[in-house]
Amino acid sequence: MTRRNAFYAQSGGVTAVINASACGVLQTARQHSEEIGQVYAGRNGIVGALTEDLIDTSVESESAIAALKHTPGAAFGSCRYKLTSIREHRAQYDRLIEVRMTSASFSTTVAAILKTPPIKSA
């Protein structure tokens, strides 16, 4: 089985549970290490993917990840950047695919993360 890396991004207002949610994602990914390699978080949400500002969460200890449950703020930052329709702003989706293709660390299929249909090559 091929392991794939994953991408995590937080978006919206920082709430009391945003770091707890990140903790859950990271701990669950680590429990499925046979399928998921490294998890990269976008600094300040999807903006981190668009600018290739990715945080390698694999360098953090289990205790540091667990501490997120009780840590205020947003560990990876957040944003209110909205991805609009692919028909309206194709360039932002092309950029996400470009980052995926050029960054060795970012190997998750972006279309699956965004829950949008894959972009067909010309």
pTM over 0.85, yes/no: no
Q: Give the bridge partners for 39, in sequence order.
A: 6
What's the rounded Cα separation, in Å, for the pair 74 and 13? 9
Ordered strands of the 4-8 beta sheet:
4-8, 36-42, 54-56
Tell me the C-alpha to C-alpha distance, in Å, between residue 75 and each of 37, 41, 54, 118: 21, 10, 13, 30
Per-residue pLDDT of 12-57, as tens digits, reads 888 878 899 999 999 999 999 888 888 889 899 888 888 888 889 9
- Between CA 83 and CA 90, with CA 88 as vertex, the angle to 5 degrees is 75
Residue-wise pLDDT for 92-114, tens only, equals 888 877 776 555 554 443 333 33
User: Does CATH place domain 4-114 in 3.40.50.450?
Assistant: yes
